[in-house]
Amino acid sequence: MTPPAPLTVLIPAHNEAASVGQVVREVRAALSEQNVRVIVVDDGSTDATATEAAAAGAEVISGGRRGYGAAIKRGLRAASTPVVVVLDADGTYAAEAVPALVAAVADGADQAVGARVLPDARVPLVRRPVKWLIGLLASLLAGASIPDLNSGMRAFRRECVLPLLRLFPDGFSFSTTLTMAALLEGWSIAWVPVPYRRRLGRSKFRPVRDTARLVLALLRAVVYFEPLRLFLPIALLLLAGAGVTMVWDIFVEVNLTDKTVLLTLSGLEIFVLGLLADLIVRKR
């Protein structure tokens, strides 16, 4: 009988003493027949997170730069298995869904994302409108449907992520960047519906600051991988506006006005800037 392929589960954790032990035990139970290494990356916790994780049977990594993304990066460098699973430490994601993600990667996907799309998903109401708008923007920029842009539960091939690790932010927008990088680089992605529960303990998410960083990470990812997806629509919109004002100038003003000139030059400049950015991307 062929032994199961080795697997690493990374759990970034910051002050999650109330839940991290339970999450580790759930992962162990869900993957009892798997050759698995569970790593909890302690992201500067001031409570008993590291102690609880170790007591539950996880390997604990401490120190280094602070931040959700920075913790995942440290874990990825420490991992040595071909497939890595990332799972939040707050108890919102059910570890019983991990085997389905791993199976999707084993079947050929480069990344399997746990999508919070089930009817009973406990996404806070205050976040849903912003989450929907950002997801819509991301789908338009990526040219593909994105069921869950920043899910904290996913499995992926480590060899795909390591070459891009330096591009990923240290904060909460790590997940968003990883999703967009996968889509824009042409990875095979599987979207696996997973349960989503109420978190244990207090949320660290700061609505205004972290949402702004998420949008910035989204735009950065598009500019780095496919800049014309951003620059071309803006340039065309400006040039279309210039066309409208030019018709007005010709038939009403009987003179070429400043607004038409500015719109035309702005559209051309952004178009050329997009072409230059695209050229740089192709030569990297």
- Residue 14 or residue 127, greater confidence: 14
pTM: 0.85
Confidence band for 181, pLDDT divided at 50, 70 and 90: very high
Q: How far apart are CA 104 and CA 110, in angstroms?
A: 9
CATH number of this structure's domain 7-225: 3.90.550.10
Tokens at 224, concatenated: 């780095």
Q: Which helix (H) or strand (E) holds 176?
A: helix 174-184
pLDDT mean across residues, the chain:
89
**Are the beta carbons of 223 and 277 closer than 8 angstroms?**
yes
8 near 85, Cβ under 8 Å? Answer: yes
Distance CA 257, CA 248 (A): 10
pLDDT of 201 above 90 = no
Least confident of 12-16, 62-66, 259-263: 62-66
Q: Is the pLDDT of residue 58 over 90?
A: yes
Assign 215 to helix, strand or coil: helix
> How many residues can be counted in the chain?
284
Q: What is the reported pLDDT for 3?
A: 55
pLDDT for 99-141, tens place per residue?
999 999 999 999 999 998 887 766 666 667 777 888 888 998 8
pLDDT tens digits along 247-280: 999 988 888 889 999 999 999 999 999 999 998 8
Q: Higher confidence at residue 34 or residue 1?
A: 34
Which residue has better confidence, 238 or 171?
Answer: 238
Domain ranges of the chain: 7-225, 228-282
Give residue 1's pLDDT. Answer: 45
Q: Burial level of 204, CB count in 10 A (0-12/13-18/19+)?
A: middle
Q: Are 71 and 171 in contact (CB under 8 A)?
A: no
Closest CA to 242 of 269, 264, 257, 271: 264
pLDDT of residue 230: 92
Mean pLDDT of 232-239: 96
Only one residue has tokens 């591009």, namely: 167
